[in-house]
Amino acid sequence: MDYDPRSEPHNLAHDPTTSLVVPRPIGWITTISPTGVINLAPYSFFNLIASHPPFVMFASNTRKHSQRHAQSGNEFVFNLAIYDLRIEMNITGGEYAEDVSEPELAKLAMAPSRFVKPPRVARSPVALECLHSQTVPLVSSDGKKHNYEVVIGEVVNVHIDDAVIVDRMIDMSRIRPIARLGYRGDYTVVDNIFEMKRV
């Protein structure tokens, strides 16, 4: 089948596009509100978009708290979502008022970051401290503004739990990151790794 998502129906049970680019890593984003409330929320429209130096992005469907705080405070932290924290991650994905602190709600201990004010999730083995670089609105070819805006961050500190470093390499089997699949409740966990030498 083929369809033009701008104008043609897919005739499937759900919009398939989010099931077609998978798995999507989860950016578990910490920010701080202007009144000092610690905010934590998952974003699966997330990725590392450059290295040397690294940049990351997450896309917000309307200007949610994470986007607004990343812009107003100029900082955010990416925490790696892992299988052992899947329940807590899911709790933080609920829609809460701005004065609700999701880490408290999910009973998640936070640890101070090195260079930025938003703290990291203490039990997440990887955290990237970011400075807000720019926010890019998405505009369709017909000039219509999309609901989504892309928030880009420059990574200024990389935190790695020493316990997941083995022989000077990151041991994924000790991390078990989770990622989003297409339909609403579907996830995957990285627990199967194969190697292929580059040609």
Ligand X SMILES: Cc1cc2nc3c(=O)[nH]c(=O)nc-3n(C[C@H](O)[C@H](O)[C@H](O)COP(=O)(O)O)c2cc1C
The residue assigned the tokens 């709600």 is 105
Residues 35-94 that bind ligand X (CB under 6 A): 39, 41-45, 59-61, 64-66, 90, 93-94
Output 146 or 171, the one with its CB closest to ligand X: 146
Q: Are 120 and 127 contacting, i.e. CB atoms less than 8 angstroms apart? A: yes
- Least Å from the CB of residue 57 to ligand X: 10
Does residue 26 bind ligand X (CB under 6 A)? Answer: yes
Percent of the chain as helix, strand, coil, to the nearest 5: 15, 40, 45
CB of 165 to ligand X, least distance (A): 27
Query: Least distance to ligand X from the beta carbon of 180, Å?
Result: 5
DSSP label at 63? Answer: S
What string marks each residue from 133 to 172 as x (binds ligand X by CB under 6 A) or -?
A: ----------------------------------------
What does the block give as tokens for 171? 């041991």
CB–CB of 188/178 below 8 Å? yes
Q: What is the DSSP letter of 18?
A: G
Overall size of the chain counted in residues = 199
Query: Are the C-beta atoms of 89 and 81 separated by less than 8 Å?
Result: yes
Name the residue number minimizing CB distance to ligand X: 93
Give the shortest CB-187-to-ligand X separation in angstroms.
Answer: 7
Q: How many residues form the binding site for ligand X (CB under 6 A)?
A: 18
Q: Which helix (H) or strand (E) holds 103?
A: helix 102-105
Nearer to ligand X by Cβ, of 1 and 20: the residue is 20
Binding site for ligand X (CB under 6 A): 26, 39, 41-45, 59-61, 64-66, 90, 93-95, 180
